[in-house]
Structure 1
Amino acid sequence: MSHGKLRDDKSCLNCGHLVEERFCPHCGQENVQPKQPFYYLFTHFIEDFTHYDGQFWKTIKYLLFRPGKLTKEYLAGKRQAYVAPVKLYIFISFITFFLPSLLPSSEEKKETNDIYTLDTKEREKANKEQIAKILDSIGIENNNTQIPKEAINDLKVSIVNDNDSKTDVLEETRDGKLMILGAENMKQFDSLYSKSGNSRLPFDFVRPFAKKAFHLQEQGLNKEQIFDKFSETFVHTLPKALFIYLPVFAFFLWIFHNKKKWWFFDNGIFTLHYFSFLLLGILIIIILSELLSLLPDYSVFNILSILTSTVAIVYMFIYFFIAHHRVYENSRGISVIKGISLFIINFLALLCMLLLLVYTSFRMMH
C-alpha cells in the first residue's frame, strides 16, 4: 500500500470522477499529491510490483514450489492475485543478471605454480638446443643481437609445429600470455595455419576467437581478464537470447498439443512461467555459489556446493515434466513421451543458440 499524502480535492486527476477513499472507483488511480520526494520513485516501484499484499510473494512461492499452478490459474481467469506473466519474466530477468554483480566474491584465486610439467621443460630445452644448432649451421652465433626477433619467433613456430602435432587449443605461457594452438600471436597463428596442410579445420574454427583474444592481449589484458570480459559480455547477452527464444519454445509446445484446445497464447503463458522459473533457479544457484565461495576451501564446503547445484539442476529438469503434466492434463505416459520429445528438441535448439551466442559474445568484446 502506498504511503503518499492524499489530496484534499476529491476529484480524480486522471479522469475527473469523485474519489471517496484513496483510489478512484472509475480508473483506479490513487488520489495522492502529484509531487513527491525523490525516494518515492524507488518505494513506489517496489510497492507497485509487490503490492505488499502478498501478490508478489504468493507468485514466487507458486512459481518455485507448485509447477504449473500459475499457468492453470492464469488460463482459468484468476489473474488479479498474481503478478502478470510478462511483468514477472522481465522483473526476474532484471534481478537475475543484475543482482549477482552486487554480490561480494572471493578475491583469493588458486595459483598454479606448476604450470609447466617436466615434459614441457624438457621440450623447451630441446627446442633451444635445436634453435642453436640451426643458427650454428648457417653460420650465425646464438648470441648475435642482430638476429631479428620475428625470425626467432618464426623459427620457434616451425619447431613447435614439428615437435608438437597435438598442441592443446588453449595454453598459457610462463609469463601469463595466451597460447592458442601453439601460437602466441596472430603472426605465429597464421604461420602455423599455412604449415598445417590438411589439418586446417581447428585453425579455421578457432581463428576468429584467436584474433580477438590476441587483440585484447595486445591491449594489456591477461588471460584472466579476457575470460572475465567474455563472461560479462555473455551474461549481458543471454537475457536477450532467451527472450528471443521464448516464441520458439512456445511454437514447439503448440506443435505437440491440440491446437483447438490450446492456442498459441496459452503455450506462451506456460513458456513465460517456465522461463521465469529457470531464471529464478539460475539466480539461486549463482547466489549460493557466490556465498559458498566465501567459505574456507575445505572439502566439505566444496562437496556442499556441488551437491546444492546438482539438486537444483535436477529439480529444474523434473519441474518441466510436472508442470507440463498438470497444465496440459495428458495421461502420465503421454505426458512423459511429449515432455522428453520437447526436452530433446529444445535442448538441441538451445545448444545451437548458445553456441551462436558464445561466438557473438566473443566477437562483441572490446
Structure 2
Amino acid sequence: MSHGKIREDKTCLNCGHHVEERFCPHCGQENIESKQPFHFLFTHFIEDFTHYDGQFWKTIQYLFTRPGKLTQEYLAGKRQIYVAPVKLYIFISFITFFLPSLFSHSKTEDNTPNRDNTLQVIKEKKETPKEIAQITDTLKKRITLHKEDINLPKEDESIKLNDIKDDSDTSLIDKASNGKLIILGAKNMEQFDSISHVKKDIAYAYIRPFAKKLFHLQDSGLSHDEISKRFTETLVHTLPKALFVYLPVFAFFLWVFHNKKRWWFFDHGIFTLHYFSFLLLSTLILIFLPKIRSLLPDNGIITFVMILLYAAVLVYMSVYFFVAHHRVYDTKKSTSILKGMALFIVNSIGILIMFLILLYVSFWMMH
C-alpha cells in the first residue's frame, strides 16, 4: 500500500465520486495528493514491484505444479491474488519469444586464410622457396576444392547430369564435403532444372520453389549448418504466434465436448489460456536445457541427467492436460479420461496441421 499523503478533499480526482476512506469505491484510485515528494516515485515503484512479484510467483507456482488449480480458483472468483489469464499468457509468450534471442550465438567469423592473406604472410615473413612452394600447392588445392562454385562449362554439367540421371537413390537434401547443399543431386538451380527436365519427375516440380529458396540462401553466402540454424531460430520465434492463433480453436473443441449449459465458452477460454501458458513455459525450459548443457563440462553423468530432465518435461507436458482437465471439469475419472483422450487426439491433429503450416511459414520467412 502506498504511503502518499491523503487528500483532505473527498472527491476522487479520477472519476469525481465521493471517497470515504483511502480508495475510491467507484474506480479504485487512491485518493492521495497529486504532488508528492521525489522519493515517493521510488518507494511506490518498490511497493508495486514486490506486490506484483508475489502475485506472479504464486501464479507460476500454481500453474506449473498444480494442474488446473489456477483455472479452478479463477472460475470460483478468487482473482485478486493471481495474475489475470490474458496478462499471464502475454507475459510468458513475450519471455518465450524474447529470451532465446538474447542467448543466440553470434555468427562466427571465417578464419580460413584467403589468397590475399597468404600472399601478405609471404611478404612479411619472407619464407624460403620451399615454404613458398608448399603455400602455392595449398592455394591450388583450395581453388580445386571450390571450383564447383564457379560457373562450370556445359560439358562438365552434362557429365554430372549423366552420372545422376539413373541414380534412383538420390537423397532429397544432402551435404557436400565443402558444406554446400545438394538437393536431389543438384548443386545449384541450373543443375536442378536440367535434372528435372531429363527425369520428368513430378517431385521436382513440387520441390522446385523450396530448392530455389535454399539455393538463393546458399548463394547469399550461408552454409548448410547456418541455414539449418536460421530455420530453427525462425521456427522457435514463430511458435508463440502460432499458439496464439490456435487459442480459440482449442477453446472451441473444449466447448464441443462439454455441457453447454454448465460451461460457457468463457470458462473454456480461461482453461485454454492457463494451459497454453503452461505449454509456453515448458517450451522455454526445453529451449534453455541445451543452452545450460553447453555451459557445463563434457561429462557422461551430466548428459544423462539432462536427457532425463528433457524427457521428464515432455512426459509432464502430456500428463498435465489430463490432470488439469479432470480437476477443472470435475467429472468421473473414466469420463474425464475418455474426453481427455478424445480432446488430446483432436487437438494433436489440429496442432500437427498448425505445425506443418508453421514450418512452411517459417521457411519462407527465413532470410
- Does the TM-score normalized on the shorter chain lie above 0.5? yes
Letter matched to residue 356 of structure 2: L
Name the counterpart of 2:202. 200
Q: Of 187, 191, 196, which residue of structure 1 is paired with 2:190?
A: 187
Letter matched to residue 67 of structure 1: P
Q: Is the 8 A contact 1:105 1:294 kept in 2?
A: no
Letter matched to residue 346 of structure 1: N
Name the counterpart of 1:122. none
Structure 1 distance, partners of 2:107, 2:236, is 20
Secondary structure of the corresponding residue to residue 171 of structure 1 = strand
Farther-moved stretch of structure 1 (5-14 vs 298-307): 5-14
Farther-moved stretch of structure 1 (241-250 vs 187-196): 187-196
Name the counterpart of 1:99. 99
Name the counterpart of 1:127. none
1:171 aligns with 2:180: no
Q: Is the 8 A contact 2:240 2:280 kept in 1?
A: no
Aligned pairs (5 A) from 1:8-47: 12-16=12-16, 23-30=23-30, 31=32
Aligned pairs (5 A) from 1:135-150: 149-150=152-153
Name the counterpart of 1:275. 276
Q: Which runs of 5+ in 2 are unaligned?
A: 109-150
Name the counterpart of 1:69. 69
1:161 aligns with 2:164: yes
Q: Is the 8 A contact 2:96 2:240 kept in 1?
A: no
Q: Is the 8 A contact 1:68 1:323 kept in 2?
A: yes
Aligned pairs (5 A) from 1:344-363: 344-363=345-364
- Give the 3 Å change call, closer, same or farther, for CA 34–193 of structure 1 in structure 2: farther
Structure 2 distance, partners of 1:227, 1:152, is 33
What count of residue pairs does the alignment treat as equivalent? 321
Name the counterpart of 1:265. 266
Q: Deviations over 1:139-187 (max 9, x none)?
A: xxxxxxxxx7241452244134235321222222222211112111111
Structure 1 distance, partners of 2:272, 2:37, is 38
Secondary structure of the corresponding residue to residue 80 of structure 1 = coil
Name the counterpart of 2:113. none
Q: Deviations over 1:247-275 (max 9, x none)?
A: 10011111111111111111111111100
Structure 1 distance, partners of 2:283, 2:47, is 25
- Give the 3 Å change call, closer, same or farther, for CA 48–183 of structure 1 in structure 2: farther
Q: Deviations over 1:296-351 (max 9, x none)?
A: 23322222221111000101100000000111111111111111111111111111
Letter matched to residue 314 of structure 1: V
- Give the 3 Å change call, closer, same or farther, for CA 72–256 of structure 1 in structure 2: same
Name the counterpart of 1:119. none
Letter matched to residue 179 of structure 1: I
Name the counterpart of 2:79. 79
Letter matched to residue 190 of structure 1: D
Percentage of identical aligned residues: 59
Structure 2 distance, partners of 1:264, 1:289, is 38
Instruction: Give the TM-score, by structure 2 length.
Output: 0.78
Structure 1 distance, partners of 2:218, 2:100, is 27
Instruction: Give the TM-score, by structure 1 length.
Output: 0.78
Name the counterpart of 1:60. 60
Name the counterpart of 1:245. 246
Q: Which runs of 5+ in 1 are unaligned?
A: 109-147
Q: Deviations over 1:204-243 (max 9, x none)?
A: 4432221111111111122222223222322222211111
Structure 1 distance, partners of 2:88, 2:80, is 13
- Give the 3 Å change call, closer, same or farther, for CA 340–99 of structure 1 in structure 2: same
- Give the 3 Å change call, closer, same or farther, for CA 360–51 of structure 1 in structure 2: same
Q: Is the 8 A contact 2:68 2:323 kept in 1?
A: yes
Name the counterpart of 1:112. none
- Give the 3 Å change call, closer, same or farther, for CA 182–249 of structure 1 in structure 2: same
Structure 2 distance, partners of 1:342, 1:319, is 13
